[in-house]
A and B are shown apart, each in its own frame.
Chain A
Amino acid sequence: MFSRFNLKAWLLLLPALSFLIAFTHWPTLKTIWRSFTWAKSDVAPSQFVGVENYQILVDDPIFWKVIENNFWYALGTVPTSIALAIIMALWVNSKIHCTSLLRLAFFTPTILPMITVANIWLFFYSPNIGLFNQLLGLVGIEGPNWLGDPDIALSSLMVMTVWKEAGFFMIFYLAALQTLSPDLFDAAKLEGASTWRIFRKITFPLLMPTTLFVLINAILNAFKLVDHLFILTKGGPNNESNLLLYYIYETAFSFLDSYYAATLTVVMLATLALIALVQIFVLDRRIHYR
């Protein structure tokens, strides 16, 4: 019975699966194929060139710069967002006043479009009149050029990313905290355990599944979310704040080289596949989708 061809099931699946395949699986395969081909122009027929595009990639200093940036960007945003998210969730879940107002404040950036809030952050970061430098000016410090200084531009992007994401991750921790039994904490308090000790020995270990889930999503976002670059730095100065997906966009739609863009996309896909494999084989051992 199990091996019988179930027409009804496939008919139910067909519409959704065809869209998924047409815009995810099929283009993935086409991207991989395109990365091995090249053509003089968009209308000229493409020809197979083997690994030539990959040789260009290896020799492309911007590619390595972008990979390096993305690595630091992930390293700078992911642990910070997660740590802040845990702290926020603990606050919002505790007995201090106005927790619903706090929760609202932390969560609001999540529902605002990255692109419009980037406009506001652009003002915060502007060199002379910007809010940050005005505040620094009050205490007599001459603030840096947050987005124009090659040493700081990427960090400035990270700050905004943490602001945008921490509240979103907080929600998952909040959901997890609310499933924990209060008896556990009462018992620990009776035993005279300190706040830090309770967190380290009880809360944090119990939140581990959430942390793994959030970790994967945060890393994925570090590669997939580049909207703010369009407003804040455009990858500059001199690619110092450029990230892989933005470079793919530039290559395809500004430099109009879809073959090299495809090659870069393959690197992106390989990265996402690697993250998926880590999730499935290392982190997901205990979670089963029945």
Chain B
Amino acid sequence: MSSWFQVFSKTSAYLLGLVWVLPLLYAFWAAFHPPEYATQFSLTAPLTMENFASAWEQAPFFRYMLNTIVITTLILVSQLFLCTLAGYALAREKFAGRGFAFALVLTQLMVMPEVLIVENYRTLAGLELVDTYLGVGLPYLASAFGIFLLRQTFKTVPQELEDAARVEGLSGLGIIWKVFVPLAFPTYLAFSLVSVSYHWNNFLWPLVVTNTEASRPLTVGMAIFGAPESGVDWSVISAGTLIAIGPLLILFLIFQKRFIQSFMHAGIK
């Protein structure tokens, strides 16, 4: 292999890496400098926290963030619980109709609720759950992806272990809780991270089903905040963007190895 090729390859790798973080770098630049430096780059530009203050004043970020946290948690807790039960049934129970039930689950991997916004909105309106946490979460309380992942994992648990637990006097839910859940810990972690980052970032369905600050998550809030009609300048939008992505970004940077491994783990299944 020619060294010329290696140098070229390395240089392109670093260049592309730089291009990939450019939007984030720009957001940091604009957020920490006065608005007049938003479009011109100078090493002598003074630093300021002013943009964060005015972003914080112009939009109820605290409320948005609270909403996002509540909605994401509600969805995750429900998914972990319901997918465990369904995943166990599909992996370990023999019954007529199992193939059919599994096919129903696999269908939802293809057709996700956001494609069906029209009908799902009608359902939610019928239940009078528009603009509530439960309304935003309801279509996602069970996850086909979660069921699928846990089913694959539960299948690998040796039968002897389950039998032994039964001899010990455990039964039904006890076996799931004491034997299967601990053994599937990496899968739970992987699924949780994928689910949290999906729902933290979800936009279309929350946009449709929320009307007010009472339930609006960060993504929808940011869309309104950043809209050109609102007349907010780049620096303040950048500051708002950093506020919005901050918690997830910090979590990601701390646990990035786990994060990436989890996405890999979830992808291989």
Contact = CB atoms under 8 A, between A and B. Distances in A.
Interface of A: 1-6, 8-10, 12-13, 15-25, 27-28, 30-31, 34, 84, 88, 91, 96, 98, 101-124, 129, 131, 134, 163, 167-168, 171-172, 174-175, 194-195, 213, 220, 224, 226-227, 230-231, 245, 248-249, 252-253, 258, 261-262, 265, 268-269, 272-273, 275-276, 289-290
Contacts of A289: 152
Interface stretch (B45-53, B162-170, B181-189, B255-263): B255-263
A82 to B, nearest CB: 14
B130 interface: no
A20 B105 contact: yes
Contact of B85 (A6, A15, A104, A120): A15
Contact of A269 (B18, B30, B96, B115): B115
Contacts of A213: 267
B90 interface: yes
B226 A262 contact: no
Nearest to B82: A16
Q: Chain A: interface secondary structure?
A: helix
A111 B101 contact: no
Contact of A120 (B112, B238, B253): B238
B197 interface: yes
Contacts of A111: 197, 201, 248-249, 252, 259
Contacts of B16: 84, 88, 106
A106 B20 contact: yes
B113 interface: yes
Contacts of A1: 94
Ranked nearest first, the 3 interchain pairs of A and B with the lowest CB-CB distance are: A6-B95, A27-B119, A16-B86
Given A105-B18, A195-B5, A120 B111 contact: no
B201 A12 contact: no
Contact of A123 (B115, B219, B234, B260): B234
Interface string B24-40: 10110010000000110
A227 B206 CA distance: 11
Given A252-B118, A258-B122, A13 B96 contact: no
Contacts of B105: 17, 20
B203 A230 contact: yes
Contact of B241 (A24, A84, A102, A120): A120
B86 A23 contact: no
Contacts of B203: 113-115, 227, 230
